[in-house]
Structure 1
Amino acid sequence: MYKKKKGFISLFLNNIFFDQPKNQKELLMLIKKSKKNKFINSNTYNIIKGAINIEKQKVKDIMIPRTKIITLKINDSLNVCLKKITNSSHSRFPVINYNNNYISGFLMAKDLLKYINNSKKKFSLKKILRPPVIVPESQSLNRILKEFRLKRNHLAIVVDEFGVITGLITIEDVLEIILKKINKKKLFKKNDS
């Protein structure tokens, strides 16, 4: 009699519903066993492991510190904005007020395109800002990732318990934590299962 080999999904579902892992450690062991039995490849294993482990990390663990944030000022001219954008190669910028302690909003570099080579349009940084997103540094990475996805934001200003700006976090920073152990050469290989 021919015995069909069970795939990863059926084994995974079988273990979840009939022999449920009791905690994250057991879940990771199940996933590791699936990798060992070649039901999943090492990239899939690392992605799942990274996704599970992000709930243990906080925003403050991976944020870009305030001293390294490239900002624009609310009264910057179009030329100053363009120079900072081209020098940094970033596409999104926090815009600070006059005293450097308050975020007025975020500028998307693409929002400046309508002002380039159009001397008739009066430039006002205030008018094209997007609302600021503020998160506490104690927030877990899985929660911030969910907020980024639901609200379609890509970056947020990080504040401490007193409301003082301590840094900035981007969706790319969080995804990098999840994907950090992926062998990129294997990821794009055609026959890798």
Structure 2
Amino acid sequence: MYNKKGFILKFFNKIFSEEPQDKKELLYFINKSKKNKLIVQNTYNIVKKVINLENKKVKDIMVPRTQMITLNIHDTLKKCLKITIQSSYSRFPIMSYDKNHIIGFLIAKDLFKNIYNDQKNFLLKKIIKKPVIIPDSQNLNRTLKEFYLNKNYMSIVIDEFGIITGLITIKDILKHLFKKIK
């Protein structure tokens, strides 16, 4: 029977029997492992992307502001449901008076809970979460770490002048890592 844990341990022992001193050497060992057929091409691609994640910036993979689907703080329950269902997204930035003023995030499941609750007294501001704002120059490694630590999976992206340039989700980072898997 195939022992997955044993294979992974053997794999890392083989790779790190000669300890790499820097990222360049680490990539060399990973490449050598691929050539020696210890790992397949897809695994090689993913490991390489993970190692180089710190070189990629949020602005490289974010959803641009022009493609953001947002809700307005004054939207009705009906309008929020319509946009949520049409877009098939689970998180939405909430704007107030313009697209430069984000006041929070709506998580779709919180909206769905209100369908059976008090529909007449629905106020979006009661169910939104605090927005998380990050610079577009932040590396993806740090962003991914913050997503996991804070259990927040969407951030608004701003430029060096504080202008909203887009948003990024954990799904965007995972797509970057895994998109070429066949």
- Normalization by structure 1: what TM-score? 0.84
Aligned identity (percent) is: 57
Q: Residue 157 of structure 2 contacts residue 166 of structure 2 at CA under 8 Å; is this kept in 1? A: yes
Query: How far apart are 1:66 and its partner, in Å?
Result: 0.5
1:9 aligns with 12
User: Residues 111-150 of structure 1: CA distance to partner in whole angstroms, max 9, x if unpaired?
Assistant: 0122214456621100100110100000001110111111
CA distance in 2, matches of 1:182, 1:107: 31
User: Residues 1-28 of structure 1: CA distance to partner in whole angstroms, max 9, x if unpaired?
Assistant: xxxxx93222123122xxxx23322211
Query: How far apart are 1:43 and its partner, in Å?
Result: 2.6
Query: How far apart are 1:98 and its partner, in Å?
Result: 1.7
- Normalization by structure 2: what TM-score? 0.89
User: Residues 68-89 of structure 1: CA distance to partner in whole angstroms, max 9, x if unpaired?
Assistant: 1000000000001011111111
Q: Residue 155 of structure 1 contacts residue 168 of structure 1 at CA under 8 Å; is this kept in 2? A: yes
CA distance in 2, matches of 1:23, 1:10: 17
SS in structure 2 opposite 1:15?
Answer: coil
- In structure 1, stretches of 5+ residues that fail to align are 1-5, 184-193
**1:152-171, aligned counterparts within 5 Å?**
152-171=151-170
The CA RMSD measured in Å over matched residues stands at 1.7
CA distance in 2, matches of 1:22, 1:54: 18
> How many correspondences in the alignment?
174
